[in-house]
Amino acid sequence: MSWFDEKGPEGDVVLSSRIRLARNFEDLPFPDIISVEQSQVAIKRCKEALLDKGSSLSPQLQFLDLKAMDDTSRQALVEKHLISPDLARNYSKGGLILKNDNSVSIMINEEDHIRIQCFAAGLNPEAAWDIADKIDDLLEENESFAFDEELGYITACPTNVGTGLRVSVMMHLPALVKTGNINNVIENINKLGITVRGIYGEGTQALGDIFQISNQVTLGRSERDIIGNIRGLAMEILNAERSTIEALLKSSKLQIEDMVYRAFGLLSNARVLTSEETLRLLSDVRMGVNMGMIDVPITVLNKLLIMTRPANLQLMCGRRLEPYERDIKRAEYVKEILKTQSGGV
């Protein structure tokens, strides 16, 4: 059971919320110039503070040795947003502590010594913050972090100096994309120093119509402020998406219904599905669910969005697959899941 198996608050539009805290040990060089021995020290300290000390969290956490994994397993973690593409490439000095439901992932020796990431389903950055904060406390009980009274936490990249906090919200915005309104939304939000980017692809070409909204600057603002700010913006975008959905239902219900059911028909019948087409079709069906047109549990669609990514698919099949083989297995998997887990379609 993963955190993304449940539908969270505002789960029609918001897939997930993520909190990321960047921290560095004051007595070790930043990871880009750290020695192998020093990198092991950083890992050891994290393990001691989080696994060995016997907090209430400890039994649910486990250390994963990235070096012992194959490329596919590391890539599968990237697809689940549990580690960064950067750590998947430069894993020799890195480490990972993971919570058993995938809701907490602590990257060690990525850009900073420690990057605490906490996830929550739907629009719920506060819940993710609470657990990130708790982990931060557990770490700080033992260790001293690089900290400046005036600036705050010191990080490898200046944009993270301050709280070291990044709040991200992942949103599914098919109606804004289809009407082209997404461009306005992105433009307006970028003016506020907030980043909007497609998760799979760039700009309006974002595959699956999935976007991540996150703060850029952390300096000079409190954690609660930053979280509140992102929540507020997410609510604005969410309302824009919902009212665009209402408008589409009024103006072109049948065309949308046609699109939704065609997507469902293809997903449940195709024998070959590329990753890109799958994202596009899942997005259409997901919009149909939000419009009350088709009865597929939204958590099933959320799960398919992740499990049909190339590495997770290969992990599920238990072996490396050539791209064309992947497209076949993907089609089989999607068909099977939709057949067994979709409602009265």
Could you list the residues that contact a second copy (CB under 8 A)? 254-255, 257-258, 261-262, 264-272, 328, 331
CB of 319 to a second copy, least distance (A): 19
Taking the least distance from each CB to a second copy, the nearer of 215 and 268 is 268
Residue 325, annotated ligand binder? no
Taking the least distance from each CB to a second copy, the nearer of 42 and 266 is 266
Residue 221, annotated ligand binder? no
CB of 7 to a second copy, least distance (A): 25
Taking the least distance from each CB to a second copy, the nearer of 61 and 328 is 328
Residue 198, annotated ligand binder? yes
Residue 54, annotated ligand binder? no
Taking the least distance from each CB to a second copy, the nearer of 273 and 315 is 273
Distances (CA, A) of 22 to 153, 166, 269: 8, 8, 45
| CA 236 – CA 298 distance, rounded (Å) | 22
Taking the least distance from each CB to a second copy, the nearer of 54 and 292 is 292
Structure tokens at 32: 């880009």
CB of 288 to a second copy, least distance (A): 11
Residue 167, annotated ligand binder? yes
Residue 18, annotated ligand binder? yes
Please tell me whether residue 214 adopts helix, strand or coil conformation: strand
Taking the least distance from each CB to a second copy, the nearer of 44 and 253 is 253
Please tell me whether residue 109 adopts helix, strand or coil conformation: coil
Going through the chain in order, the beta strands assigned E by DSSP cover 14-23, 61-64, 95-99, 104-108, 114-121, 147-148, 152-153, 165-172, 194-200, 207-215
Beta-bridge partner residues of 22: 115
Asked whether 145 and 26 are in contact (CB, 8 A), the reply is: yes
CB of 172 to a second copy, least distance (A): 21
CB of 204 to a second copy, least distance (A): 25
Nearest to 228 by CA among 167, 170, 171: 167
Structure tokens at 47: 């393990």
Question: Within a 10 A sphere around the Cβ of 251, how many other Cβ atoms?
Answer: 10
Residue 170, annotated ligand binder? yes
CB of 186 to a second copy, least distance (A): 31
| CA 142 – CA 48 distance, rounded (Å) | 9
Extract the annotated binding site for ATP. Answer: 16-20, 81, 115, 166-170, 197-202
Annotated binding site: 16-20, 81, 115, 166-170, 197-202
